[in-house]
Amino acid sequence: AQKVTQAQTEISVVEKEDVTLDCVYETRDTTYYLFWYKQPPSGELVFLIRRNSFDEQNEISGRYSWNFQKSTSSFNFTITASQVVDSAVYFCALNAGGTSYGKLTFGQGTILTVHP
Amino acid sequence: DTEVTQTPKHLVMGMTNKKSLKCEQHMGHRAMYWYKQKAKKPPELMFVYSYEKLSINESVPSRFSPECPNSSLLNLHLHALQPEDSALYLCASSHSLVQPQHFGDGTRLSIL
């Protein structure tokens, strides 16, 4: 069975602070894919990043960076110098399981509020 | 603007009505999905189509009936829904079952 845990239900920061969103996953499959999605108040889910289980290289994209560690089954997401527009719900998701490929298992989400 | 288009954006229907939700993409994706999302919860997968064939049905009640007429279109036919079916229904598509899924804006469905 696949499971994703986002232990932080809500985070509140002031603009320009750095913030890290935690994601821990569980799977018995050796090949799997991890994702982060952003859901702003308007409702659409926006894809941010995909990482496969064979690629532990960290990634940076502008103010966003991701730290994938197989040893701790974690795929954490850091926003540097946060902005009000970063306010949203962030979901970590796992895609694994042979015949179940295509099924995204989502974490419960972390509500991020960035205050001016 | 998203590249996955869902219509209608809002739908209010009675429990005896029949309606359909539509989803369209022109990105050449061969996998399409329906999700249901309740307020303050993550999306829950309902159906997966791969190359126009149903590959996953997450034990969804038969009052929800998916249809994939071609590789660009995905429908969700609704009949005799219950008030608890009120939710945001999201459609997504991807190049393959392991590629990132791209979501539409969703249809907000209310059952009276």
DSSP string for residues in B53-74: EEEEE-S--TTEEEEEEETTEE
pLDDT-based confidence at residue A67 (cuts at 50, 70, 90): very high
- pLDDT given for residue A70 in this prediction: 93
Q: Is the pLDDT of residue A55 over 90?
A: no
The percent of residues in chain A predicted with pLDDT above 90, rounded, is 80
**Nearest CA-CA partner of B74 in B15, B20, B2, B13:** B20
Q: Is the pLDDT of residue B19 over 80?
A: yes
In this structure, what token pair is assigned to residue B103? Answer: 């979501």
Mean pLDDT of chain B: 94
Q: Is the pLDDT of residue B2 over 70?
A: no
Among A37, A44, A101, beta carbon nearest to B2: A44
Alpha-carbon distance B83 to nearest alpha carbon in chain A (angstroms): 21
Mind listing the pLDDT tens digit for each residue in A2-32?
Answer: 999 999 999 999 999 999 999 999 999 999 9
CA distance B70 to B24: 10
β strands within chain B, DSSP E: 4-7, 10-13, 18-25, 31-37, 44-50, 53-57, 64-70, 73-79, 87-94, 102-103, 107-111
- Once rounded to an integer, what is the mean pLDDT over residues B70-90? 96
**Residues of A near B (CB-CB distance < 8 A)?**
33, 35, 37, 42-47, 50, 52, 91, 95, 100-104, 106-109
Q: Does B54 touch chain A (CB under 8 A)?
A: no
Contact A83, B80 (CB under 8 A): no
- pLDDT given for residue A96 in this prediction: 87
Q: Is the pLDDT of residue A99 over 80?
A: no
**Nearest CA-CA partner of A8 in A107, A106, A87, A114:** A107
CA distance A35 to B12: 33
Q: Is the pLDDT of residue B1 over 60?
A: no
- Once rounded to an integer, what is the mean pLDDT over residues B79-97? 95
- pLDDT given for residue B57 in this prediction: 93
How many Cα atoms sit within 13 Å of A74 on the Cβ side? 13
Q: How many CB atoms lie within 10 A of CB A38?
A: 18
Strands B107-111 and B87-94: antiparallel
Is the dihedral angle over the CA atoms A29, A4, A52, B38 positive or is it negative?
A: positive
Amino acid at B101: Q
